[in-house]
Structure 1
Amino acid sequence: MLIILMLSTVYNGRYWVFFTDKGNQKGNISAQIERVAGLYPSVTVERRMKAMGKPADRGDLPVYPPYIDSLKKLGFKPRYVSRWLNGVSGLLPEDMVNRIKKLPFVREVKRVATIGGCFPYIPKPLSYGKQETNIKLMSIDKLHNLGYSGKGVRIGVFDTGFEYGEGAHEALDMIDVIAKADFVFPDTIVQDGDTIIVPDTIVSYEQGEDYREGTYPNCYAPFCCQTDHGTMVLSILAGYAAGSFIGVAFGADYILAKTEQVYDREGHHVELKVEEDNWIRAMEWAESLGVDVVSSSVGYRDFQDTTGYSYADMDGRTALITIAAESAYARGVIVVNAMGNVAGGAPETSIVAPADGEHVLSIGGVEMEIDSITGDTEWVWCSEAAAGPVIRIDTFSINPLEIDTVYIIKPDLAAPFYAQVVNPEWRTEFLNLPGGDTLSIPHYISGGGTSFSTPYVAGIAALLLEAFPSLKGNPDTIRLALTSTASRHSSPNYYVGYGVPDALSALNFLGEPEVVYKEKNYILPVYPNPVRINENSVITIPFVLDNNDYVQLKVYDSGGKLVYYKDVGFTLAGRNYIKWVLGDLRPGVYTIIINTGFTRLRSRIFVLK
């Protein structure tokens, strides 16, 4: 009897493989770097020129393909390739690890671990007053009053996913999202016999991949859905509903990346998971699109395989995600990351990467303390927020045996630990359910964590960049303005760093703003723009009024002919929007004019076939 034994390769984990070089490129290296620089948009090049003095460097050159091919011959299955780290992550047979380590072009092999998150949701009674207190604590309202809302600034948000746009929450229906990618549930394509991972663009709920537990209207508990955490974080930055909720940078352009998994594909509720290479890939992608500020409410520390990073590894040099964050900083990106929350009652053991990065703005948490006798209030460190410092061991070049222990203040800044956020499980469809008008499903809920502290500071950074656009690509100056004017700028500590930022003081620290709004009424970017004409084409015209006013909308073609008129009528102060159905409009350039009792606001839209 002939017995055929069929064996299959066993892949026990994902690994990063780092290379010694990029193939010792031959020819004119400068010409190769110049070609790579030509692939980036102008906004990316401009920021890099300010930060690096050049549009690209060797770190932007592609990883040497023959090295990856050699790995594949040994059974390696590539997943993500990182130019900055000069490495590739993917599946690797356990019995091939040592063999690959011995290859002459391999510098190091590290396991990619699944990591437990540390950003719990803590329910509290709904109170819009608490959100107003947070905004005013940091003088964010003062910058809003000057007309700043983040216009022209690109903010990247890395999290679990996001629900926004028409039909989602009322405060998230007008966000200007210019790019989005899903690094958790990407698509796979077969190319030249290899399975290639390609991020798709579904960052909201995705049938069959994300899992939404339960059915409406019962599902509005914390982390009921894959996208809940990211949606709540996004609302602090970008949310806007007149009279109910105002985010920090509601006028910014957003680049959204889904990098964390909450549920498995069968719908089982699992520990919040993060994969380091998802974040690294997202950072390189967002940076290539010209991101100015990255708000990251995720952290890496405790791996599922119990290896993880130790407190000693939180030195700003060891964790791969920290190295990637520092690479983004070197290219002019302001990276703002949560410090993490306390695990096991020991704040010093709870700091997470990349918050340990020297140039990463790591954010801790404060809460309001009320004196039981006097009733006076004071913002103090929240004991549930992780503390520093970062401890780094340096070796003197003169005597290699002599070491120097450096203590780096972390967090850099602190912001409110507790915040009002949108209820991510609320949808406009509730209003159409039987009895929907009486359902006790709140529009807004409260939560806690340094996850929520982080977007406040990222938003302030965006407001400052709007006022001083020449500082794009200069994260050090923004950092200096924030830390030099924060509440503990003269006596920083390892619990709140330099303290709570003051947006108005930071603005004044930078001098006379380059952008000054004479009028407090203005039009935000019209979207989509350009727009392709069809019978269902609709554009949204968002605008902000300083006071209640009467509004008219007029649209003119390139020849000055009035093609559309709408008497909008009495409109409340704050952010508003007008929907315009294009109908049978001809392709061309059109001028949009919004008339109020005091001002005339202008914008343009490009209509394509």
Structure 2
Amino acid sequence: MKRTLLTFFIFLLPILIFSQEDAWVYFTDKPDASYYLANPLQMLSQKALDRRTNQGIALDNTDVPVSTAYLGQIETSTGITVMAKSKWLNAVHVRGTQTDIQALTALSFVDHIYFANHSLNTLTGPGSTTPVATSRVGEVKDKFEVEVNFSYGNSANQIEMLNGDLLHQQDYTGAGKIIAVLDAGFIGVDTASPFQRLHDNNLILGGYNYPDGNTNFYTRHNHGTNVLSTMGGYVDGQLVGTAPDAEYYLFITEDVNSENPVEESYWVEAAEKADSLGVDVINSSLGYGSYDNPNYTYTYAMRDGQVGFASRGASMAFQKGIVCVVSAGNEGSTSEPHIGIPADAENILTVGAVDSSENYVSFSSIGNTADNRVKPDVCAKGLSATISSTTGTITTASGTSFSSPILAGMVATFWSALPNLTAAEVIQFVKESADQYATPDIYKGYGVPDFQLALTNALSAQSFQLQEVHLYPNPVADYLWIDPKESNTGNLEIFNQLGQKVLTVKVEGQMVKVPTDDWASGIYFYDFSTNNSKLRGKLIKQ
């Protein structure tokens, strides 16, 4: 009898464990959109608005928060728990039985539902043609196998490999740029000595713990601590991060106690918060491929940047002017060696691992994406990277979890040298500087970047662009003259400080006179686009 009962229990165990399903509920609209778009500081900080304006990115409905009225009705629905929400994707992550979740389609404002369990998506009604699953590939269980003259100690190799020391010597150290770190926890960052310099200079701006729903982010796990140390850590003669003077937000999105797609939703929610705070760079040493519930696992065919919730969130971050840097994953030696979610996202930098001699490391997940885009994009040191422990001991660890932040810190440092570049330009200059740019492969992508070369190329491009058009007078009073050099042809767009377009002019090789007497006083930003380049700048209206 005991054996019979035990067998029966074992048979029921999967049913008991997975009786609750996870799903995303997508809404039809945002009824409060007009209010928020007219009052942008109610949804975005001034830093976020400035970043949009600098890059010529207009505000739109994706910036508007999820409707509180819709959210309230979902929260009070029978058997439903709201786990997370996303304004970019206008959706909430819910947990409940399949029946209770399916009942939400009766609400007039619900557009459609995607279950994390792929097999259920044929049941979700009209519009549910694409499964939205989630899963983890990289996991946090890494394989632990100048003007300024820093004494790098053992961290020298991981910086010099990227020619980051040359940027540091020119006094480019990430100052003025903000990095958000999305990770599993930051134990010891408030007490360990390698992070004291960050505290002394008020470079840790805040953060949030999404799994616990509170502001205690110096908790849960050591992984984020190790990751942060490669960017912002400092111990003279032992460890110097790649962006020691950048500012940081620390977000816990990973719950190491279980593997569930809600972590992807936490990831997107944190990315949205980072955007609203004016962050420039996101580092995520996390990845998703398989969950505790095997029905949620992503197949390789799903790793195309369009299926994963976090992947679509990462691509949205790029549209907001943020450079996302994501670890490729540590599955290169497994039966499913490909990069996962959100490493498959479009318009991000996915980072693989190399050793101290820039050779591919076998654990580093490979590309390409299912739709055959180059992945990883670039590589940095991931074997025996120099890091700090939670107690401040300088040690080494291996994994793409460390190649990613080493690279992310250099992105912020490079961007601090040329702060007016767009996210797209930053990504392109980094790729073009890599040693395999002409012949990318599935192991190292475009290869190891050279940030001094990227800086040289960017400065040369800016010098070229400045010869293409002249706008005067600046400051302007009643009329603005646009003088295209050498008969250049292009489109000139002008935006106000809220990112709203106020003027579009077709320039066709002739001087153009634009009346500005009805413009409000203040700062304006312009884009002049030709077939092969883009010039950006600022105007002051008196």
Give the 3 Å change call, closer, same or farther, for CA 201–513 of structure 1 in structure 2. Answer: farther
Aligned partner letter, 1:383: S
Q: Which residue is equivalent to 1:486? A: 434
Rounded to whole Å, the distance in 2 between the matches of 1:166 and 1:280 is 25
Q: Which residue is equivalent to 1:279? A: 267
Q: Which residue is equivalent to 2:66? A: 63
Asked if structure 1 preserves the Cα contact closer than 8 Å seen for 2:175 and 2:416, the reply is yes
User: Post-superposition shift, 1:130?
Assistant: 4.9
Q: Which residue is equivalent to 1:144? A: 168
Aligned partner letter, 1:57: D
Q: Which residue is equivalent to 2:412? A: 462
Rounded to whole Å, the distance in 2 between the matches of 1:478 and 1:96 is 46
Q: Which residue is equivalent to 2:248? A: 254
Structure number having the greater helix percentage:
2
Q: Which residue is equivalent to 2:212? A: 185
Larger deviation, residues 238-247 vs 32-41: 32-41
Q: Which residue is equivalent to 2:330? A: 341
Give the 3 Å change call, closer, same or farther, for CA 294–16 of structure 1 in structure 2. Answer: same
The alignment status of 1:325 with 2:314, answered yes or no, reads: yes
The alignment status of 1:355 with 2:343, answered yes or no, reads: yes
Q: Which residue is equivalent to 1:580? A: none
Rounded to whole Å, the distance in 2 between the matches of 1:316 and 1:150 is 29
Q: Which residue is equivalent to 1:440? A: none
User: Post-superposition shift, 1:35?
Assistant: 1.8
Q: Which residue is equivalent to 1:446? A: 396
Give the 3 Å change call, closer, same or farther, for CA 513–493 of structure 1 in structure 2. Answer: closer
Q: Which residue is equivalent to 2:370? A: 391
Q: Which of these residues, 443, 446, 451, is aligned with residue 503 of structure 1? A: 451
Please give the residue correspondences for 1:76-115 in structure 2 after superposition, counting only pairs within 5 Å.
76-101=80-105, 103-104=107-108, 105-111=110-116, 115=136
Give the 3 Å change call, closer, same or farther, for CA 119–183 of structure 1 in structure 2. Answer: closer
User: Post-superposition shift, 1:323?
Assistant: 0.8
Rounded to whole Å, the distance in 2 between the matches of 1:391 and 1:280 is 22
TM-score (structure 1 length as normaliser): 0.64
Please give the residue correspondences for 1:396-411 in structure 2 after superposition, counting only pairs within 5 Å.
407-411=372-376
Asked if structure 2 preserves the Cα contact closer than 8 Å seen for 1:130 and 1:419, the reply is no
Q: Which of these residues, 164, 181, 195, is aligned with residue 172 of structure 1? A: 195
User: Post-superposition shift, 1:254?
Assistant: 0.3
Give the 3 Å change call, closer, same or farther, for CA 271–46 of structure 1 in structure 2. Answer: closer
User: Post-superposition shift, 1:30?
Assistant: 4.6
Aligned partner letter, 1:145: Q
Rounded to whole Å, the distance in 1 between the matches of 2:81 and 2:358 is 51
User: Post-superposition shift, 1:14?
Assistant: 5.4
Q: Which residue is equivalent to 2:184? A: 160
Please give the residue correspondences for 1:367-446 in structure 2 after superposition, counting only pairs within 5 Å.
367-368=355-356, 378-392=357-371, 407-426=372-391, 443-446=393-396
> What secondary structure sits across from 1:379 in the alignment?
coil
Q: Which residue is equivalent to 2:509? A: none
Give the 3 Å change call, closer, same or farther, for CA 412–334 of structure 1 in structure 2. Answer: same
The alignment status of 1:311 with 2:311, answered yes or no, reads: no
Aligned partner letter, 1:255: Y
Q: Which residue is equivalent to 1:7? A: none
> What secondary structure sits across from 2:359 in the alignment?
strand
Give the 3 Å change call, closer, same or farther, for CA 142–20 of structure 1 in structure 2. Answer: same
User: Post-superposition shift, 1:119?
Assistant: 4.5
Q: Which residue is equivalent to 1:525? A: none
Give the 3 Å change call, closer, same or farther, for CA 74–184 of structure 1 in structure 2. Answer: closer
User: Post-superposition shift, 1:355?
Assistant: 0.8
> What secondary structure sits across from 2:370 in the alignment?
strand
Aligned partner letter, 1:488: Q
Asked if structure 1 preserves the Cα contact closer than 8 Å seen for 2:135 and 2:288, the reply is no
User: Post-superposition shift, 1:77?
Assistant: 2.5
> What secondary structure sits across from 1:457 in the alignment?
helix
Give the 3 Å change call, closer, same or farther, for CA 230–53 of structure 1 in structure 2. Answer: closer
Q: Which residue is equivalent to 2:78? A: 74
Q: Which residue is equivalent to 1:537? A: none
Rounded to whole Å, the distance in 2 between the matches of 1:46 and 1:102 is 41
The alignment status of 1:22 with 2:16, answered yes or no, reads: no
> What secondary structure sits across from 2:100 in the alignment?
helix
The alignment status of 1:290 with 2:317, answered yes or no, reads: no
The alignment status of 1:33 with 2:33, answered yes or no, reads: no
Rounded to whole Å, the distance in 1 between the matches of 2:154 and 2:282 is 25
User: Post-superposition shift, 1:389?
Assistant: 0.6
The alignment status of 1:53 with 2:47, answered yes or no, reads: no
> What secondary structure sits across from 1:180 in the alignment?
strand
Give the 3 Å change call, closer, same or farther, for CA 116–336 of structure 1 in structure 2. Answer: closer
Asked if structure 2 preserves the Cα contact closer than 8 Å seen for 1:415 and 1:500, the reply is yes
> What secondary structure sits across from 1:260 in the alignment?
coil
Q: Which residue is equivalent to 2:217? A: 203
Rounded to whole Å, the distance in 2 between the matches of 1:314 and 1:38 is 35
Aligned partner letter, 2:402: F
Rounded to whole Å, the distance in 1 between the matches of 2:190 and 2:90 is 41
> What secondary structure sits across from 1:138 in the alignment?
coil
Q: Which residue is equivalent to 2:505? A: none
User: Post-superposition shift, 1:328?
Assistant: 0.7
User: Post-superposition shift, 1:113?
Assistant: 6.2
User: Post-superposition shift, 1:381?
Assistant: 1.3
Rounded to whole Å, the distance in 1 between the matches of 2:456 and 2:104 is 55
Aligned partner letter, 1:60: D
User: Post-superposition shift, 1:274?
Assistant: 7.5
Aligned residues: 418
Q: Which residue is equivalent to 1:118? A: 139
User: Post-superposition shift, 1:173?
Assistant: 1.4
User: Post-superposition shift, 1:503?
Assistant: 1.2
Q: Which of these residues, 225, 229, 234, is aligned with residue 228 of structure 2? A: 234
Give the 3 Å change call, closer, same or farther, for CA 468–425 of structure 1 in structure 2. Answer: closer
> What secondary structure sits across from 1:95 in the alignment?
helix
Unmatched runs of 5 consecutive residues or more in structure 1: 1-9, 187-199, 211-225, 265-269, 369-377, 393-406, 428-442, 515-609
User: Post-superposition shift, 1:121?
Assistant: 3.7
Rounded to whole Å, the distance in 2 between the matches of 1:279 and 1:48 is 21
The CA deviation string for residues 431-475 of structure 1, in whole angstroms up to 9 with x for no partner, is xxxxxxxxxxxx22211111111011111110111111112xx11
Give the 3 Å change call, closer, same or farther, for CA 354–51 of structure 1 in structure 2. Answer: farther
Rounded to whole Å, the distance in 2 between the matches of 1:22 and 1:237 is 40
Report which of the two structures shows the higher radius of gyration computed on alpha carbons: 1
Give the 3 Å change call, closer, same or farther, for CA 108–276 of structure 1 in structure 2. Answer: same
Aligned partner letter, 2:23: W
User: Post-superposition shift, 1:384?
Assistant: 1.0
Rounded to whole Å, the distance in 2 between the matches of 1:114 and 1:345 is 16
Give the 3 Å change call, closer, same or farther, for CA 87–46 of structure 1 in structure 2. Answer: same
Rounded to whole Å, the distance in 2 between the matches of 1:80 and 1:241 is 38
> What secondary structure sits across from 1:511 in the alignment?
helix
Unmatched runs of 5 consecutive residues or more in structure 2: 1-16, 117-132, 146-151, 463-542
User: Post-superposition shift, 1:354?
Assistant: 0.8
Aligned partner letter, 2:293: D
The CA deviation string for residues 5-36 of structure 1, in whole angstroms up to 9 with x for no partner, is xxxxx99435333334225x38xx55541224
Rounded to whole Å, the distance in 2 between the matches of 1:159 and 1:165 is 13
Please give the residue correspondences for 1:575-586 in structure 2 after superposition, counting only pairs within 5 Å.
none
User: Post-superposition shift, 1:426?
Assistant: 2.3
Asked if structure 1 preserves the Cα contact closer than 8 Å seen for 2:134 and 2:290, the reply is no
User: Post-superposition shift, 1:114?
Assistant: 7.0
> What percent identity do the matched residue pairs reach?
28
User: Post-superposition shift, 1:108?
Assistant: 1.8
Question: What value does the CA root-mean-square deviation take over the aligned residues?
Answer: 2.7
Aligned partner letter, 2:403: S
Give the 3 Å change call, closer, same or farther, for CA 166–73 of structure 1 in structure 2. Answer: closer
